[in-house]
Each structure stands twice: as structure tokens, then as C-alpha cells.
Amino acid sequence: AQTVTQSQPEMSVQEAETVTLSCTYDTSESDYYLFWYKQPPSRQMILVIRQEAYKQQNATENRFSVNFQKAAKSFSLKISDSQLGDAAMYFCAYRGTIIIQGAQKLVFGQGTRLTINP
Amino acid sequence: GAGVSQSPSNKVTEKGKDVELRCDPISGHTALYWYRQSLGQGLEFLIYFQGNSAPDKSGLPSDRFSAERTGGSVSTLTIQRTQQEDSAVYLCASSLGRDRTDTQYFGPGTRLTVL
């Protein structure tokens, strides 16, 4: 079974600085997707960024980028120019691609609570 | 367009009562998922629907939990004889369900408190 590990329960960063959140995963599959979701106090899970395992190029969405190391099974999220609105729980998630029973579910890490200091 | 909606937003119930949680997916999304978020267990998958059928129910924790989906749209998660350990946030997500690029979009969740 696939597992996702986020080793940083909490992180903090000064506003306008850069912070990196770590995520590692374990899988025997070669093709899969990785996601970072943000969950503010409103509880709404918001998709931040998505990476396809067969693409070597790291995904980028504005101030958010990932460092995807497939061999190391590592998928970290870098937030540049941190803003107060970035404060939230961040979850790393894995999804397989084989369209069979069970392959569509997301497997989540335990989350990292990010605090932005003004 | 409208996102995934869930009702009620919060539910407080007494131990032993039955509860129903509702999810309205994004229009046109054929896939629907239920997850549970609790302090001790993190985010856990419960059940996955494709259309009205549920090919993966592997995450349902006991036979007290059931879910159905009608008309390929609205889904209801029912918990019978609730226990205190059922207290959690129940999240629903939907996706197009068409191909390998599928991305799940989440609702705001229902916070269930069992007294």
C-alpha cells in the first residue's frame, strides 16, 4: 500500500520569506500523481499544485513550486514571498493512475501547519 | 461554477443516534469520494462512487457506515448508532472521473460531534 509522510508537523516563516514543506512517499508504481492541498481554518481543501510522475519538469503555480525527486520519492513544496493568506494546514497527497478498484483514492500525509509571522 | 457543497456544516448528536450527511458534487462530475478527517487518524478515504455504483468501499470503518448516490449526483453518508469515535470532519470531493489526469475538488466538510 502507498504511504505518504510529512515529517514537519509545524512550520513558521516570516512574511515575504521563502519556506519549504517536506513530503516523502512510498509506492511500487511507476506512474502516479502527487498533490499539495491547502486547508485554511474554513476547512475547505484547496488544490495548490499537482505533479505528474512521468514528467521530470517540476510543476510551478505562481509563488508555489515543487521539487520532485522521483528516485528519492520526495515531493517538497516551496512557497516564495510568503503572504499572511498562506497560513493554513498543508497536505501532501498521492494518487495512482491505474483505473482499477481503489486506484482513484487520495492517500494523504499527516499535514504541516504553516504559520506566517508578520 | 458552483463548487462541492455539503450539509449540514456542523452536526451535534447523541451517542447511539443515526446521522445523515449530504454531499452535492460539482455538476458534471461522475466521481465522488468521501473522506474522514480526525485528530488521531488524519485524512482517511472512506468510499468512492463512479456514477451510482461504489467500486471501492474499502475505507468504511464498520458496518454502521453506509453511503449511497442517486441520479449520479447527490450522495448521502449514513452513520448508524453513532459512537464518540465517529466525531470527525467528513469531507466530500468530486472529480470528472474520465481519465488519468483526474483532480478531486473538495467541499467544506461536515463537522460531526458525538456526545
A 9-68: CB under 8 A from B: 31, 33, 35, 37, 42-47, 50, 52
Q: Is A102 on the interface with B (CB under 8 A)?
A: yes
pLDDT value at residue B39: 81
- A51 has pLDDT over 90: yes
Domain spans of chain A, in order of start: 3-117
Closest-CA residue of B relative to A93 is: B43
pLDDT value at residue A100: 60
According to CATH, the topology of domain A3-117 is Immunoglobulin-like (2.60.40)
State which residues of chain B have pLDDT below 50: none
Quick one: DSSP state of residue B86? G
Q: Are residues B108 and A37, on separate chains, in Cβ contact within 8 Å?
A: no
Q: Are residues A102 and B58, on separate chains, in Cβ contact within 8 Å?
A: yes
pLDDT value at residue A19: 98
- A102 has pLDDT over 60: no
Q: What is the pLDDT of residues A12-25, one digit of tens each?
A: 999 999 999 999 99
Average pLDDT for chain A: 92
In CATH, which superfamily holds the domain spanning B5-96?
A: Immunoglobulins (2.60.40.10)
Domain spans of chain B, in order of start: 5-96
Instruction: Give the mean model confidence (pLDDT) for residues A66-85.
Output: 96
